[in-house]
Structure 1
Amino acid sequence: MEMRTLKIIFLICYAFVFVIRIYYKRRTEQKVIVDARKITQEKGLRLLMLVGVIILPFTYIFTPWLAIANYTLPVWVNVLGILMFVSSLWLLWRSHHDLGKNWSPTLQIREEHGLVKNG
């Protein structure tokens, strides 16, 4: 499978990640925060996540800086990776959907939050 095709598939799947996250984030933004339990390490961990989840993949896709890491994989490995990404998209959507109004991007308790016992 061609690398360009894989990069396009990755970007499409990644766009779905952003759509899911933004949709559910906007649904919960209007609710009043009752208790925000942020720890000091959270900012550092979120920064590391930003580097590993956004900056490195997009640097690899859009610049030649990480071309030294290129290697060819069998087609079945590429297909397996695509299937795993699509499965993880379903899991991401399902977890956000099941949590519904109880979902928040960080550890925050908002009005109308409750304990989710199913889903």
Structure 2
Amino acid sequence: MNIFLGAIGVDEFDYPQGYLTFLKSKMSKDFEPWTMLAHYEKRVDSWRKILIEQYPIYSLLPFAKYIANDDVACFDLKNGDVVIINSFSTIDCSCHGTYPDFDTWLTAAIAEHESWDEDEDE
């Protein structure tokens, strides 16, 4: 399974081990309603460019895109947490949530994934 971590401005970032481990799992390829950007070449860099342009005051490294809206899950390189950014919104409405770390975000995202799958089965 190919993993693309991106190249723009992330030379000194240490990806959380939980993130790297999750990307190697089969579940990460079929993780609706989230799409893990690292499975698609150039998507991390594309979204990083978009977020740098839209929100230059933040230092964000996107790693997942919500398929039903413009939310993007990102590592906050300044604060060390995970933020959910509503791309294409005004800066005062851009943050839709925060998690202290990737593992906490992943727990919530897995619960959402399981609920999403149940809704599609009905």
- Do the structures match in fold with TM over 0.5? no
User: TM-score, normalised to structure 1's length?
Assistant: 0.31
Q: Whose helix proportion is higher, 1 or 2? A: 1
| Higher share in strand | 2
RCO (CA 8 Å, sep 6+): is it higher in 1 or 2?
Answer: 1
